[in-house]
Structure 1
Amino acid sequence: MPASDVSAGAIAAQLSALGLTTRVEEHARQTAIEAEVPDHLPTETWQEALDVVAKADRFGLLATSLGGRTLWAAVRKPAPATDNAPGPGQQR
């Protein structure tokens, strides 16, 4: 499913429903979703979480040397509509 058809809020809600703590950050061109992954996450929950983030335009896992893991996803925002009407002094 293309990310343009998926709301970043829906991805965050689905990750939260799996018991993950999520954060959503709005940026100019995308919405970023991050979810902290606990040390002992059941295999079935991992698979469900991966299925959820696979709906985004990009996703990945950030693992630190201290043992922290963050699952992330990014959903591109639609490009703003442009007005192609000629301005003053412009001809078609």
Structure 2
Amino acid sequence: MPASELSAENIAARLSAAGLTPRVEQHARHTSIEVEVPDDFPAGSWREVLEVVADADRFGLLTSSVNGRTLWAAVRRTVPATGDVRGPGHQR
């Protein structure tokens, strides 16, 4: 299993251990992990949750009056090595 996939699974497991329900989706270039954060989520647990998503390549928090709070993280998928790499994601 690629290291990026292990990292995404680890993030999801740690978010689950914090009492949240992660959704993991595989995309062409990254794996996304999202959790809905309830309004009554303990203030003291935020530090732990932010430390978890800090292990991702990108993360953020979406807040809306309609959908509540969604914490997300993205882990780049491992790109296979080739002899001619022309930059991130631009291989022949």
Secondary structure of 1:55's aligned partner: coil
Task: Name the counterpart of 1:7.
Answer: 7
Q: Which amino acid aligns with 1:53?
A: V
Question: Structure 1, unaligned stretches of length 5 or more?
Answer: 85-92
User: How far apart, in 1, do the equivalents of 2:82 and 2:72 lie?
Assistant: 31
Within a 5 Å distance, the mapping from 1:79-90 to structure 2 comes to 79-82=79-82
Q: TM-score normalized by structure 2? A: 0.79
Aligned-residue RMSD, C-alpha: 1.9
Q: What is the percent sequence identity of the aligned residues?
A: 65
Secondary structure of 1:40's aligned partner: coil
Shift of 1:83: 5.3
Larger Rg, first or second structure (1 or 2): 1
Task: Name the counterpart of 2:39.
Answer: 39
Q: TM-score normalized by structure 1? A: 0.79
Secondary structure of 2:46's aligned partner: helix
Shift of 1:67: 5.4
